[in-house]
Structures are given as C-alpha cells and as structure tokens.
Amino acid sequence: MPKSSSQVPILELRGVSKRFGAVQALSNVNFEVYAGEVVGLVGDNGAGKSTLIKCVAGIHPIDDGEIWFEGRRVHIQNPIDATNLGIQTVYQDLALCDNLDVVGNLYLGREQTNRLPLDEVTMEKRSLEVLHNLSVSIPSVRTIIASLSGGQRQSVAISRAVMWNSKLVILDEPTAALGVLQSKQVLKLIRNLREQGLAVIVISHNLVDIFEAVDRISILYLGRNNGVFNVHGTSQEQIVAAITGAEFGNNNQETAQSRQRKGGSSR
Amino acid sequence: MSTMANDPRLVSEESGSLLQRWWQRFRQADLGSLPIIVGLVVIWLVFQRANDKFLSPLNLTNLMAQISALGTIAVGAVLVLLLGEVDLSAGAVSGLCAAIMAVLNVRYGVPGPIAVLVGLLAGLAVGFFQGFWVTRFKIPSFIITLAGQIAWVGALLAVLGETGTVNLRDNFIVALAGTFLKRDVHNGELYSWIVGILFIAIFAASFIWERQRRRSAGLQFTSIGGLIFQIAIVAVLVIGMLLITNADRGLPSAMVLFIVVLVLFDFITKRTIFGRHIYAVGGNVEAARRASINVNFVRIAVFGLASALAAFGGILAASRLLAVNQGAGANDLLLNVIASAVIGGTSLFGGRGSVWSALLGALVIGSISNGMDLLALPSPIKFMITGGVLLAAVTIEAVSRQRRETAGR
C-alpha cells in the first residue's frame, strides 16, 4: 500500500490560524493527511471545518502558521495555487452542469479538440476508463447529469476531481444529500480513491459514514484541535464527546500522537 | 425504491435500438422536437383545407423566402437564450444595420459588398457593447437590451434622415435575397441539384466517419439501420425542398444563406469548445466559472454574434423588400423572433435547445402568417392567433419540463 511507503504527509498544517474580523475561526490548528489515507474532519457547526478546507483550497489565505505539501513548505494564496499543487475540492453543490452529459462535465473547462472540433471520441474513451478504474457505475457516459441519481452525480463530481493528476481530494459532506444506498455507493468510491493512493479529506456530520470510510478522525472544536482518533479502537461515543467538547483531547502532543496512532493502524 | 446504478429506469434509458430509445424518451416526456413537427403538419393541413394554394410550389417557395430573415435573426436569439439571457434589441438592431448598409450604398456610393460588411460589423459592435454592459455592471440583459431596442430605433431614424425610406438598387444587395436559382441563374437548377447532392454526401460522410471512429475506439455506435435512417431524413428533406422549389422559380438564395447560417452555428454550438461553454454557462454559471471558463468572454461573444445575426437578417429582409424604411425591424418582428426560438424548443431558462429550433419556429410562425395572408384574414385576428400559438408552444414546453422533472430528468 502506498500508505506505509510514504513517511512524509501529503498535506501538513502547522499552527494554522485564521481570523475574520472579531471571530477567530481557526487558532493554532495542526492537521495532516498521508497518501493512501482517508481522514475525516469532524466538528460541530461553527467548529471551523469549512474554514480549514477553504484555507487549503485557496479560498481563504491563512493568517498564521505553515502549510506543507509533500514535504515542501507552500503558500496557497488562491484556488489556482491549490489546483496546481494537485488539491481538488468537491463542494456540496457539486458544480455540475445539469444540461451536459457525463463526458461534458468530466472535461468541463478542459475540453480536448481534434484541431477545431471537439474530440468526443477521445474524451468519451478516457471518461469510460476513469469511471471504470474508480468502479463508478453509470448507465451511459452520454446521459445528461439531470437524469442521474444523487449518488451518481456525487460520483461524477468526485471522478472529475481525481482525474487530473490530483494528489489530495477534499470532499465536503459527500453523503449529506444522499439516501442509504447512494451513500454506500459514494463511500465505496472513497475507499477506491484510497486504494489508488490518493489522500482524501472527508467532512461529514454522519458518524456512521465516517466510521465506514475513514482511517483517522481529526476533530475540531471552536476553531481548535480537539484530538485525532484512529477509527479502530474508538467508539462513536468518544467521538461525540470530543465533538461537543465534553472530552478534551491532547492538544499539545497532537502531531506526535496522531503519528503514533497512524503507525499502529498500518496494516 | 432503489436509485442505485442498477435502477432499471436508468439502465434502460440509453440502451436498445433507436426506436426503443425514442419510446423511452416519449414516456419520460422528453419529446424533443416531435410536438412541434406534429404541430407544423397540423397547421399546414388546416391551411391547405382552407385554401388549396397553400401547399403549392409557388407558395412554399414564397414561404421559404419569407422565413429566411426571421429565422436568421432567431438563430441569434437561440444563442442568447442558451445562456439563459434574452435579447430584446434584435428587431431594432436588424433595422438599424440594414439602414446603415442602405444609406452607405445609396447615398455615399459605397459598393454593395462593403456596405453589407459594414452593416454586419455594426451589428457585431452593438452586440459587444450590450454584452459588455450586461457583464461589466451585472445588469439583467432584459433591461440593457430593452434600453437598446429604444435607442437603436432612434439611431435608425437618425441614419435614414428626413426622407425616411431608402430604396435599394445595388445588384449585389438585391441579389442577396432576391435570387431564385432556377429563374435567375444560368443552369441554376442544375447547380442546386449538385449542391444539394453534395450537401447530402457531406452529411452522410460525417455520420459514417463518426460511426467508424467510435467503432474503432471500442465505443457504442449507431446501428446500420439508425445510420441509414439519419441519412435518409437529411436526403428526403433536401431533395423534397429542391423538387418543390424547382417546380416554381427555384431555390431562393435567402433560404440558401439561412441554411448556411444554421449549419455553421450548429457546428459552433455543438462541436466547438466555445459552443460547449455556451451550454455550460447556460446550465450552471457557477460550475462554469469554477471550471475556469471565462464566463464574461462567452457572454460578450454571444451577444456580439446574436446582434451580427440580427444585422444579417435585417439585411436579408431589406434585400427582399428592396428598401429600408422607418418601420424596419419594428412591429412584431422582435416577438416573432423570440417566439420562433421558443416554439422551436429552446428553453427560456438557458442551457437547453439547438439552433435548429430557429428553423422549426420560423417555419411555424411563417406558415401561420403566410396562411392567414392567403385567407386575407384581418390583422387583429392574425395577431391573436399568433399569440395563441406562442402560448400553446410555451405551455407544451413547460408541461413537458414539469413532467421531465418529476421523471428525474
């Protein structure tokens, strides 16, 4: 597995702070994710999850702290910086064009041409390969997005995020709008991403889904770290306690602790 | 109920033969252009019953000459509607640009081709200006182009000056829409057949080439039956049109130009990156922006093209009427243009439709107007019937959209 081979995290945040006027949205937050690993980012409303991913995605530049990517210190000032590093974010609204087909959406803004006309054959072929590699099942890549189910749309959005040499994929509430079966479909896709050696950050409120899909859970509470847990050997009650602030994690030894936990979890 | 990938509704949707797929779509109320074609046939049969000259070669040839200007302007309206915007200035712009061309040619002695080119460029400039205003100040296009409609009528009056009417005599300009291939061109009938057969051959070749490429790439491809069916439809339409028009004066040049515009813009919208981006912006602006599509560029370019097409339509109309007057582009032209685009099946909400809806819509509007003229119906009735048809068309569109939404499409 790529997971054990890489000792350096794909993404590492060290002491990141972000402030909006009088609100300290993030203070001194540490976070890390390795290749071939799925990390759940969990916290109550207003805990700073969205702010954290927006900092990584380049929408909000950080005020303080360091972002390290593949062992190099980087400065992410805008979304293009993030994209160039290989960071892709799938927001809840998915940003798909309902009136275009699956191929059109996968290649949106990156269309391939045969001189002047669109090269539909090449794009369709590659789309089929990508979806096949990720085991995404869709009736036809020529179906328009409007006729797909919620889970299939989510799968298309995720496939688009990973098909352009991405290294880190951030998923914002990927299962929030989905029914049980569709959620399973998306969670399976997330596990496939891990198999392919990608680093994945999942934001979710649904602890059942989190426990099913992720390796580690990083908890935010009022803009601060509140513990990192390995899903194996942790109960949902412990997580709930950390989310609500009933149980305080070990803030100071955050990084060391998570590394140790990760080491214990590698199979 | 399961909504996974193996949902029978979804699996069966794009599989099976061409006929089965149509039946599937029919059941999901995604009727495409079927209702409008049925409507057109009904309209023709009704008028033919009322006056047996309606479907005569003479009248059908007239009809083609009549709808070309309207249809050309409607192609521009379709482009703007695809963005989810609307262009209310199309009528006035068509009049203004025709007037610019006429005045340059008649009063200033500018050669016909150059006068036409300047008229087209004036349209392009007007469209860029309106598009810039819409994007720069984020004002709804409805308001900007409404202001334009009023202002350009003023400009039209100013350009025409005191006499108010400019009569066209230039050979090039008059020939633009006023030529009938069989009557006016030496060997025109023969040429029209050669071009028609070439047209069919090119379409057939592109279908076959497309199928061959998909086949060798290991993708799904149309069956032989489907292929023959597609080619047969094109062939029947082209040959039918040539048989009818050659039984009269021959194919009107305005119709030829309209078809060229249709084929060109069908290619642009369906086969180029720019066209794909038009659909993307109309479907989901935010998604287009995040996919790093230059949304403002697409919008300004489309407004420019739409106004240039309006100018071309206005020039075709002027060429057919042999004059530009103060009423050019006024009255019901704008409403007929937008009605044509919408009746033909282009959604008012953006992202859905095709430039061929300009042809279908213009045929419907043109047939009604032509038929009522043949029956010598008074104006009040003509307006009310045209309004009623528009109402019926948008209602069919709205109902099928609602059914499509409940069917999850």
Domain boundaries, chain A: 2-86+167-265, 91-155
pLDDT value of residue B328: 84
A148 φ/ψ sector (left φ>0, alpha ψ -120 to 50, else beta): beta
pLDDT-derived band of residue B220, with 50, 70 and 90 as boundaries?
Answer: confident
pLDDT on residue B6: 44
Q: In B, which residues are within 8 Å of A144 by CB distance? A: 409
The span from the CA of B336 to the CA of B386, in Å, is 9
Can you give the residue ranges of every domain in chain B? 34-42+51-179+252-406, 181-251
How far apart CA B316 and CA B333 sit, in angstroms, is 14
**Cβ-defined contact of B290 to A95 (cutoff 8 Å):** yes
pLDDT of residue A110: 92
Residue of B nearest to A155 (CA): B5
* Interface probe with A: pick from B81, B216, B273, B278, most Cβ of A within 10 Å: B273
Residue B1's pLDDT band, with cuts at 50, 70 and 90, is very low
The answer to whether the CB atoms of A109 and B2 lie below 8 A apart is no
Q: How far is B345 from chain A (nearest CA, A)?
A: 14
Asked if the C-beta of A100 comes within 8 angstroms of chain B's C-beta atoms, the answer is yes
How distant is the Cα of B78 from the closest Cα of chain A, in angstroms? 16
Is residue B409 very low, low, confident or very high in pLDDT (cuts 50, 70, 90)? very low
Contacts of B283 in chain A (CB under 8 A): 97-100
Helix (H) or strand (E) holding B111: none
Is the confidence at residue A202, as pLDDT, over 90? yes
Which residues in chain B are closer than 8 Å to A128, comparing Cβ atoms? Answer: 219
Q: What SS3 class is residue A176?
A: coil
For A253, B68, B165, B355, the CA distances from B389, given in Å and listed in that order, are 74, 20, 33, 20
pLDDT of residue B256: 94
pLDDT digits (tens, 9 = 90+) for A101-125: 999 999 999 999 988 899 999 999 9
Chain B residue numbers touching A182 (CB-CB < 8 A): 3-4
Nearest to B351 among A99, A137, A147 (CB): A99
Tokens of B305: 């093209």
Kindly list the residues from chain A whose CB atom is less than 8 angstroms away from the CB atom of residue B408.
146-147, 149
pLDDT attached to residue B63: 95
Chain B CB within 8 Å of residue A112 CB = no
The mean pLDDT value for B367-379 works out to: 91
pTM value is 0.87
May I ask the CATH class of domain A2-86+167-265? alpha beta
- pLDDT-derived band at B404 (thresholds 50, 70, 90) equals low
Tokens of B328: 């050019």
CA distance B393 to chain A (A): 21
Which residues does chain B have within 8 Å of residue A152's beta carbon, measured at their own beta carbons? 5, 10
Residue B228 has pLDDT above 70, yes or no: yes
DSSP per-residue codes, B290-311: HTT--HHHHHHHHHHHHHHHHH
pLDDT band at B24 (very low <50, low <70, confident <90, very high): low
List the structure tokens of A253: 């030894």
Work out the mean pLDDT of chain B and round it to a whole number.
89
- Judge contact between B399 and B35, C-beta under 8 A: no
ipTM: 0.85
Residues A172-201, mean pLDDT to the nearest whole number: 90
Identify which of A118, A139, A151 has the shortest CB distance to residue B272: A118
3-class DSSP assignment, residue A111: coil
Q: Could B2 and A144 be called an inter-chain contact, meaning their C-beta atoms sit closer than 8 Å?
A: no
Q: With cut-offs at 50, 70 and 90, classify the pLDDT of residue B403.
A: confident
Does residue B112 have a pLDDT over 80? yes
Q: What is the predicted pLDDT for the residue at B13?
A: 42
The stretch B278-299 carries a mean pLDDT of: 94
Q: Which residue of B has its CA nearest to A149?
A: B3
Residues 174-213 on A with a CB inside 8 Å of B are 179, 181-182, 185
pLDDT digits (tens, 9 = 90+) for A48-102: 998 999 999 988 999 999 999 999 999 999 888 998 999 999 988 888 999 999 9
Cross-strand bridge partners of residue A13: A31, A67
Q: Which tokens hold the place of A173?
A: 């509430």
Provide the shortest C-alpha distance from residue B233 to chain A (in Å). 23
Cβ contact B280–A108 (<8 Å): yes
Which residue, chain included where needed, has tokens 């039956």?
B225
Strand A11-20 versus strand A64-69 pairing type: antiparallel
Mean pLDDT of B334-363: 91
pLDDT at residue B184, rounded to an integer? 87
pLDDT at A124 (0 to 100): 94
DSSP assigned state of A147: G
Backbone φ and ψ of A55, nearest 5° = -65, -45
Nearest chain B residue to A152 by CA distance is: B5
Facing B291 at nearest CB: one of A94, A108, A181:
A108
Residues of A in contact with B218 (CB under 8 A): 125
Which of A100, A116, A127, A141 has the highest number of chain B CBs within 10 A, making it the mutation to test binding with B? Answer: A100
Q: For B29-76, how does the pLDDT look when each residue is reduced to its tens digit (9 = 90+)?
A: 455 677 788 889 999 999 999 999 999 999 999 999 999 999 999 999
Contact state of B219 with A125 under an 8 Å Cβ cutoff = yes
* pLDDT score at A86: 93
Residue B408 has its nearest CB partner, among A95, A128, A147, at: A147
Q: Are B295 and B287 in contact (CB under 8 A)?
A: no
Q: Is the pLDDT of residue B180 over 50?
A: yes
Architecture of domain B34-42+51-179+252-406: Orthogonal Bundle (1.10)
Contact in structure between A142 and A103 (CB atoms under 8 Å):
yes
The pair phi, psi for residue A82, each rounded to 5°, is -65, -45
pLDDT band at A246; cut points 50, 70, 90: confident
Residue positions counted in chain B: 409
Nearest to B291 among A109, A144, A148 (CB): A109
Look-up of token digits 């069956």: B223
